[in-house]
Amino acid sequence: MFVSNIFDMKSKFLFPSYFKLIGCFLAIPGMIVGYLCVYHDFNIKGFNIDLGKRNDFMSSQVENLTNEVSLAGLVLGLLFIAFSKLKQEDELTAKLRLDALHWAVLINYIVFCAAELLLRLFVKIGYEPKMAFDIGGWDSDFCLYNMFTPLVIFIGRFYYLIHYKKEAFIISDIKYLSYYPYRRIAKLLTLSFFAIIIMMEVFNIPFIESMGEWIVNSPLIPLPLLMWVFSKTANEDEMTTQDRLESMQLAVYVNYILLFLANFAFYGLNFLLVMWINTISMLVFFLIRFNYVYSKSYWQVRREVKGGILS
Amino acid sequence: MKNTIKIERAIKNITQADLADLIGVSRQTINTIESNKYVPSTVLALKISRVFGKPVNDIFELDADD
């Protein structure tokens, strides 16, 4: 449908309200076991599986699934808590849910980039904080946290907006950067970064390779994407706001479904690649969906105007 | 946008919760609309006007800065 009504958003893609309780029962044990597993080498013996033929130098033959199961439980539980229905769903609660989602993504990535940057600064000056993963690469603890922090921040923000005042909801409007120059700059930077990364994989030019490696390892890679997501289109209106909100919710779902599958498909060092992709995937999904819808409606309007006036 | 929902409610002698039940939204949503913090969708505005039996224009009015 070309025109989507905010009222349709009321109960789109939401779980029944009792899923909130199921979510708690999944997320809390998931978090505790996950913490013990990552920081205290705790493994549940029954979760060993033999990878057999799949064995390659990137992963060991016997894999213990404790970390996979706890991450899956945590992510699934948080998704259930975040996207289960309230007692009374209406257009305003839908708006608040989606505003909170945008807010959570923005805050999450700013904090994530700042934390990564600080971590690398610490390493540079010789102070090494105690971490489970290697320090100063894409396999840092923050990448691991980044798999579920958007959901945690969202849940906190949403329930604050809904419950902080007893009588009314708190209205939060997202502020966007202006189209010119921010959206232009962000688009240019993002596309050239991806072009360089692709060229790095295809050609063997030393200059491109060192540049690509710098980009891949940079803690700031989500920032141009974030700037693209949070800057206005050439003609921003109510309709685009609606497309943004829908696209963000879809991006979160797609991102977590894929993460959930990848969690059980990739082990050992291969999973570090999943962690790297996860740092930008949600933003990438949003940009693809949003720009697709935006350009589709743009061309549709142009066609209609032509049909109505010229022919 | 301004609205006269509070006055209309007083005339009809119904609470925010009653109005919320009649149009199928939460009480907080009615409160947030009444205090002019949230502009309802056209669908919701039409539902409210139906409850009070008046045209939308009598209940909702554009502000000077809209």
Q: Band of the pLDDT at A139, cuts 50, 70, 90?
A: low
Distances (CA, A) of A234 to A44, A148, A294, B56: 54, 33, 11, 32
A87 touches B at CB < 8 Å? yes
- Give the residue-averaged pLDDT of A72-99: 90
CB contact under 8 Å between A7 and B37, yes or no, is: no
- Confirm or reject contact between B44 and chain A (CB < 8 A): yes
- Per-residue pLDDT of A273-306, as tens digits, reads 888 888 899 999 999 999 999 888 888 877 776 6
Average pLDDT over residues A51-64: 61
Percent of residues, chain A, with pLDDT higher than 70: 87
Q: Which domains are assigned to chain B?
A: 2-61 (1.10.260.40)
A220/A83 Cα distance (integer angstroms): 29
Residue of B nearest to A10 (CA): B25
Identify the pLDDT of residue A187.
Answer: 94
Structure tokens, A20 = 């909130």
In angstroms, what separates the C-alpha of B48 from chain A's closest C-alpha? 14
Which residue of chain B is at minimal alpha-carbon distance from A162?
Answer: B28
Whether the CB of A173 is below 8 Å from some CB of chain B: the reply is no
Is B28 within 8 Å of A168 when comparing Cβ atoms? yes
DSSP reduced 3-state for A49: strand
Single out the residue of A87, A89, A117 nearest to residue A217, CA to CA.
A117
ipTM of the complex, rounded to two decimals = 0.86
User: Does A198 contact chain B (CB < 8 Å)?
Assistant: no
* pLDDT for the residue numbered B27: 92
Q: Residue B42 has which token pair?
A: 């056209």
User: Which among A5, A86, A92 has the least Cβ separation from residue B32?
Assistant: A92
Least confident of A47-61, A80-94, B9-23, B32-46: A47-61
Size of interface A-B (CB pairs under 8 A): 50
CA distances from B15 to A121, A183, B26, B30 (A): 58, 47, 12, 10
User: Could you tell me if B28 lies within 8 Å of chain A, comparing CB atoms?
Assistant: yes
Interface test with B, best of A3, A87, A88 (most B CBs within 10 A): A88
| Predicted local confidence at residue A144, as pLDDT | 84
Residue A212: name the closest of A223, A225, A196, A194 by CA.
A196
B48 at the A interface (CB within 8 A)?
no
pLDDT at B47 (0 to 100): 94
**From residue A3, how far is each of A37, A180, A203, A285, A294 by CA, in Å?**
48, 27, 44, 22, 12
B40 in reach of chain A (CB within 8 A): yes
Instruction: Output the pTM of the full model.
Output: 0.85
Q: A111 falls in which pLDDT band (50, 70, 90)?
A: very high
The answer to whether residues A48 and A112 touch, using CB atoms and an 8 Å cutoff, is no
